[in-house]
Amino acid sequence: MIPFSEVLQSLPDCADIDSIELRDGGGITVGFIENKPGQSGSVRVYRTLLDRHDGRIDRAAAVAGLALYAEHTDDARRQPGRHPNIDRLLAVAAGAEGFGAFIRRRPG
């Protein structure tokens, strides 16, 4: 397994993104991922998934995302709640409803 730190190096830079707003099928906001320390890696993962899966996190996108999170996926399985952005993908991969997203860009 390639470590998450190496996976991140292969993903697009997200310096232009302020946050990603996650929305359910009815358009209701169900979460935010802010581009700040501790979450910037998730912004890069989710942006990649959204780009590759037509702006939606469906089962296929969730499975792909779990692979990108590498060793953190195993940690999330052992400690539910510790990695909420991975927990969302685990739920969708297991059959929960997928979601869309709105990417908020940084001004300028």
For residue range 24-52, list pLDDT tens digits in order: 999 999 999 999 999 999 999 999 999 99
- What is the end-to-end Cα distance of the chain in Å, rounded? 38
Per the listing, tokens 């590498």 go with 70
Q: What is the pLDDT of residues 82-92, one digit of tens each?
A: 999 999 999 99
CB 22, CB 32: distance < 8 Å? yes
- CA–CA separation, 14 and 101 (whole Å): 15
pTM over 0.75: yes
The DSSP string of 43-82 is HHHHHHHHHHTTTEE-HHHHHHHHHHTTHHHHHHHHSTTS
